[in-house]
Chain A
Amino acid sequence: MIQHVGNHPFGKKHRPHEVVIETLLFLFALFSILITVGIAFILVRESFLFFADPDVDLLGFLTGKVWQPMIGLFGFLPLLNATLTTSLIAMLLGIPLGLFVAIYLAEYASDRVRGFLKPTLEVLAGIPTIVYGYFALTFMTPLLRSLFGESRVDIYNTASAGLVIGILVLPMIATMAEDAITSVPKDLRLAAYALGGTSIETTFKVVIPAALSGLSATFLLALSRAIGETMVVALAAGAGPNLTANPFKAAETITGYIVRISGGDVSYNSVDYNSIFALGLVLFVITFTLNLVSRKISGLFHQEYD
């Protein structure tokens, strides 16, 4: 397929197959962008339908403290509150645990321990989230109820769901944080040791601060993952919006509500049905922003050492 142009021995060659392959690859790349744009477009269009409804106004949506579609109250704060509660609890468990696992893996673990711990984390990451949901309902909730008393802890509660999401994001945090820690140049560790630093001082006063931007990016991505997590909260957090600060009470999250409505028998074109697109848009904006910020931060991190 190679032909010379003109008679020049180094004349340009035509390689038609390269053009074909390049075009194909470009089309695939374009396809993924189109899907993203398409999803965003549908979310926005359907959300418009929701906000165009006479029962709904944007201010009421953003500030309302009651979500009761039956009586035309669409304040999304109860749903947002439940989402933030489960995510916060997940981060409170997942970040320290994931960080310590990462520090141990990156700085202390022998090859043998690593060879055992890494695959275990991968198994943890491979468990379907529905199983985590059952785990929350059949293990975590009974555990919390026996610890704090059945009268204080509802059967469905945000604490149980949040703790299990924390375990669910643990492998992700551990793996990404380990990458952030190992990408701190070895020179810095040697410098700290050569100044008479112990291994703890080296890890916590040099390596971790140097990895901080990579670690923050990791935590933001994990938060984004926790906010979007659905199965666990759908099973264990409760079905019914409830504006409460008590993590032992049942409260429906944004994702939990979306699952209930899209799986139930609400008719298309009803306000209830359209509301899930507005909520989907909210989720999309939150996670998209978190991912963007996370990318920005990890970009800064790479700049520092290049």
Chain B
Amino acid sequence: MNTTNLAEALPRVYEQPQEQKTIIALKDVNIYYGSFQAVKQASLDIYEHQVTAFIGPSGCGKSTVLRSINRMNDMIRGSRIEGSVRFHDHDLYASDVDPVLIRRKIGMVFQKPNPFPKSIYENIAWGARINGFRGDYDELVETSLRSAALWDEVKDKLKQNALRLSGGQQQRLCIARTIAVQPQVILMDEPASALDPIATGRIEELILELKNSYTIIIVTHNMGQASRVSDHTAFFMVDEKRRGYLEEYAPTEQLFLNPAHKKTEEYISGKFG
């Protein structure tokens, strides 16, 4: 038996030590857009208070899998899912589940900063308002902005339109806005890809701080970023029918230093992608 076969014989899903608690579990997830299958048989567990990175070449379905976790795929006409996505052991796709309530527990930050064209204050307060938050809004705005490491830069101009902030500040505002709804999980879809290196660095620092309070899943094209911020990395690949699938899932250090699969090694060493 040669080494390639041995690697492929290994289980694709990394066996996690007992002490880490699973918060989200995907099992045999297939996702379709119309007749096109975008994701094939994805199974993985996401662990609480850890940062999990999804990496892989374009079209490998990593963003699609991410959006299936807070049912943002529902927004795309013709999308359909098979298999199960469980959050704290609740099936997120059960017929009596309200996607609106899921999104209040599983927040999302997008690729391009997308603050509302309202004041900084109103951006933070919006989510809390529609949630019927009855507490102190000033305090909520301050804590959220502090958690997103933005308070010192904006505390004197909370009434200013958020669109006047720089790209990096806008993205941290979007993170603050997500935190304000008090989710348990934050999904980040390439949150730094539209930002310059300095702003990217601040987002990465922020992710490391936030993992104490939240579970974070981040999709990234930047392998350096995945290795810097994440505890676990899932490498997605695309098959000959352009379907995405999970190739390898392991603790980040192991996946980058000692990948079990040949394709993973080729991808992280930059042979394709």
Contacts and interface: CB of A to CB of B under 8 A. Distances in A.
B34 interface: no
A191 B110 CA distance: 8
B116 A210 contact: yes
Given A191-B110, A194-B178, A196-B100, 16 more contacts: A187-B110, A188-B116, A190-B114, A191-B174, A192-B126, A194-B110, A195-B104, A195-B127, A195-B130, A196-B101, A196-B103, A196-B130, A197-B130, A198-B100, A210-B116, A304-B117
Given A205-B126, A205-B130, A206-B116, A196 B75 contact: no
A299 interface: no
Chain B CB count within 10 A is highest, among A188, A196, A304, for A196
Interface in B104-137: 104, 107-108, 110, 112, 114-118, 126-127, 130-131
A187 B127 contact: no
Contacts of B110: 187, 190-191, 194
A115 interface: no
Contacts of A194: 70, 72, 103, 107-108, 110, 178
The SS class assigned to the A binding surface is helix
Interface in B147-196: 163, 174, 177-178, 181
Contacts of A190: 72, 75, 110, 114
Contacts of A192: 116, 126
Interface in B39-87: 70, 72, 75
Interface string A176-202: 000000000101101111111110010
Contact of A195 (B75, B107, B112): B107
A38 interface: no
A198 B126 CA distance: 13
B103 A193 contact: yes
Nearest to B70: A194
B114 to A, nearest CB: 4
- Of all A-B residue pairs in the complex, the 10 with the closest CB atoms, nearest first, are A196-B104, A187-B114, A195-B127, A194-B108, A196-B103, A191-B114, A201-B130, A210-B117, A198-B100, A196-B100
B107 A304 contact: no
A196 to B, nearest CB: 4
Contacts of B70: 194
A195 B126 contact: yes
Contacts of B126: 192, 195, 205-206
A304 B163 contact: yes
A192 B178 CA distance: 10
A196 B126 CA distance: 10
A193 B130 contact: no
A193 to B, nearest CB: 6
A233 to B, nearest CB: 39
6 contacts: A190-B114, A191-B177, A195-B181, A197-B130, A205-B126, A210-B117
A196 B131 contact: yes
A279 B131 CA distance: 55
Nearest to A197: B130
B130 A188 contact: no
A196 B116 contact: no
Contacts of B181: 195-196
A123 B103 CA distance: 42
